[in-house]
Structure 1
Amino acid sequence: MAGAPTDWSEAEVAATVRSYLDMLRLEVSGESYVKSQFRKALLPLLSNRSESAIEFKHQNISAVLMKLGLRPIRGYQPAQNYQQSLVPEVQRQLASSPSLVELVLAEALQSPTANPSGTLDFSSASIPSIIHSDGSGRTGAQSGRPDYAAIEARNRALGLAGELAVVDLEYRRLVKAGRTRLARSIDHVSQTRGDGDGFDILSFEESGKEKLIEVKTTRSRAETPFFVSNNELQVSKDRADFYHLVRVFNFGQDSAWFPLRGSLAASCVLEPNGFTALPRPS
């Protein structure tokens, strides 16, 4: 009978982190790669580990990267129950590869290439589990660490593209329901009136009831935190029966979304740094 799994050695952890960061570099550089090939290349460097064990370790690294304020590679669900030695090893390798960190953060400011029309399906995704950033509630800017989410939040072209995708989704939804007149009354208020209303889009339920929609967009995973202004928070409280936050994620790469309804103070964990928001666990 095989013995119980042993902790990964320092050499195994280092090799696995290196493999993951190699994939991340290819991804942010726009080059294709095959995850299974990286797993197979790791096998001779490890002590009798399976490909599934490597995959789980890569999921652990995804969680660590998100805690450190960077985005993970696509396709690996972050797994938080990880060996503690992963954190310093990821930090060490990132510190020795500043060009990789620069590439990832530069991606957060790139203008999107996706056409917003038809980007989003009618069906919403499930609300993700929370992954808090590392640093006791501080943003990367405050803690001196990189912060992909904070940089991406300043990307106005990405924000606008996400809003246009949601306007398109709302229009198609209402037309499909036979409410074309309502669809034509949708107002992209962040463009027609500016940013002072506390929401981006005035849409409607099929009944005619108003929907006040605030859109938050990321190229990264659904678990990525987003930023909420004092005004958005207050409007979500004052008009909770009408307020909807739509989180668009994986934008441009299998774009998807999930909704948070009502007061953001009720639906999100808000960290007092401006505010950083993440959905509350259900």
Structure 2
Amino acid sequence: MAGKPSAWSEAEVAATVRSYLEMLRLEVSGEPYVKSQFRKALVPLLSNRSESAVEFKYQNVSAVLMKLGLRPIQGYQPARNYQQSLIPEVQRQLSLSPSLVELVLAEALQPPDATTTGPLDFAGAGTPVMIFPEHAGSPHAGIGRPDYAAIEARNRALGLAGELAVADLEYRRLMKAGKARLAGRIDHVSRTEGDGHGYDILSFEESGKEKLIEVKTTRSRAETPFFVSRNELKVSKDRADSYHLVRVFNFGHAPAWFPLIGSLDASCILEPNDFMALPRPA
């Protein structure tokens, strides 16, 4: 019977983190790469590890990067249970590669490319599995690294592009339902009247009931935290029966979304910052 796998050595962890960060560098630089080639190149440097073991370790690194306030590469979902011992090694290698951190944070401020971004599908994704423990504080509190989510939140071009995508989704939804009159009444209020309403889009249910939509957009994964203002929280409480927060993620290559309906203090774990929001597990 096969014995329990041996613990990963410091050399193995270092090689895996180095491999992962090189993929991240290529991805944020817009250069093509093949994940399987990186896995195959890494295996000979390890102690009798399978490619599936490497994939899981890459998922661990994804989770650590998110905890450090950066974004992971596409395709390796952050592991919910990851080794805390990975954090120092990822931090060490990032400290030796300040240019990589700068590249990732610069990406957070880039305007989206409308020519390569498709429309949102009607079917939203399910609420993501939370990868950080409840009541653990902000995911990257005390780590001392830059905050991709906070920088991206200041990207007005990205925010506007996400709002336009959701407004288009709402228009197509109502037109498909034969509600052209309601579709024509959709109001992108953050553009027509400015911020301050606590939501971005006034849309409608097929019944004619108002649907207040706040949009939060990220290029990163669905699990990425987002920021909520005190006014948005207040409006979500006062208008809980019609309030929808739409989280748009993977924006720019495979855009998807999920809704959080009702008061935000019921649908999210709020950390005062204004508020950092993590969707509660379904």
TM-score (norm 2): 0.96
Corresponding residue number in structure 1 for 2:155: 155
- 1 CA distance for matches of 2:99 and 2:210? 47
Corresponding residue number in structure 2 for 1:112: 112
Corresponding residue number in structure 2 for 1:182: 182
Preserved contact between residue 67 and residue 139 of structure 2 (Cα < 8 Å)? no
Residue pairs, 1:154-173, within 5 angstroms = 154-173=154-173
Structure 1 residues 29 and 118: alpha-carbon distance in aligned structure 2, compared to 1, 3 A threshold: closer
Corresponding residue number in structure 2 for 1:216: 216
- 2 CA distance for matches of 1:74 and 1:116? 16
Corresponding residue number in structure 2 for 1:67: 67
Preserved contact between residue 117 and residue 165 of structure 1 (Cα < 8 Å)? no
Preserved contact between residue 202 and residue 213 of structure 1 (Cα < 8 Å)? yes
1:177 Cα deviation after fit: 0.3
1:83 Cα deviation after fit: 2.5
1:143 Cα deviation after fit: 6.3
- 2 CA distance for matches of 1:50 and 1:139? 30
Which residue identity is paired with 1:191?
R
Preserved contact between residue 139 and residue 147 of structure 1 (Cα < 8 Å)? no
Preserved contact between residue 116 and residue 164 of structure 1 (Cα < 8 Å)? no
Preserved contact between residue 153 and residue 226 of structure 2 (Cα < 8 Å)? yes
- DSSP 3-state at the match of 1:187: coil
Which residue identity is paired with 1:44?
P
- 2 CA distance for matches of 1:50 and 1:101? 30
1:145 Cα deviation after fit: 2.0
- 2 CA distance for matches of 1:176 and 1:138? 41
- 2 CA distance for matches of 1:144 and 1:18? 21
Corresponding residue number in structure 1 for 2:41: 41
Preserved contact between residue 24 and residue 73 of structure 2 (Cα < 8 Å)? yes
Structure 1 residues 46 and 118: alpha-carbon distance in aligned structure 2, compared to 1, 3 A threshold: closer
Preserved contact between residue 127 and residue 258 of structure 1 (Cα < 8 Å)? yes
Corresponding residue number in structure 2 for 1:80: 80
1:115 Cα deviation after fit: 4.9
Which residue identity is paired with 2:255?
S
- DSSP 3-state at the match of 1:55: helix
- DSSP 3-state at the match of 2:215: strand
Which residue identity is paired with 1:15?
A
- DSSP 3-state at the match of 2:114: coil
Corresponding residue number in structure 1 for 2:12: 12
Preserved contact between residue 116 and residue 168 of structure 1 (Cα < 8 Å)? no
Which residue identity is paired with 1:137?
G
In structure 1, stretches of 5+ residues that fail to align are none
Percent of aligned positions that are identical: 80
- DSSP 3-state at the match of 2:110: coil
Corresponding residue number in structure 1 for 2:278: 278
1:129 Cα deviation after fit: 1.6
- 2 CA distance for matches of 1:211 and 1:73? 34
Corresponding residue number in structure 2 for 1:203: 203
Residue pairs, 1:88-167, within 5 angstroms = 88-115=88-115, 119-132=119-132, 137=137, 144-167=144-167
The count of aligned residue pairs is: 280
Q: Deviations over 1:169-227 (max 9, x none)?
A: 00000000000110010000000011010000000001100000000000000000000
Structure 1 residues 76 and 177: alpha-carbon distance in aligned structure 2, compared to 1, 3 A threshold: same
Corresponding residue number in structure 1 for 2:251: 251
Which residue identity is paired with 2:13?
V
TM-score (norm 1): 0.96
Structure 1 residues 130 and 111: alpha-carbon distance in aligned structure 2, compared to 1, 3 A threshold: same
Corresponding residue number in structure 1 for 2:194: 194
Which residue identity is paired with 1:205?
E
Q: Deviations over 1:116-142 (max 9, x none)?
A: 985100000010122349xx6358798
Preserved contact between residue 117 and residue 252 of structure 2 (Cα < 8 Å)? no
- 2 CA distance for matches of 1:81 and 1:139? 14
- What value does the CA root-mean-square deviation take over the aligned residues? 1.7
- 2 CA distance for matches of 1:138 and 1:83? 18
- 1 CA distance for matches of 2:117 and 2:20? 33
1:253 Cα deviation after fit: 1.1
1:274 Cα deviation after fit: 1.1
Preserved contact between residue 39 and residue 51 of structure 1 (Cα < 8 Å)? yes
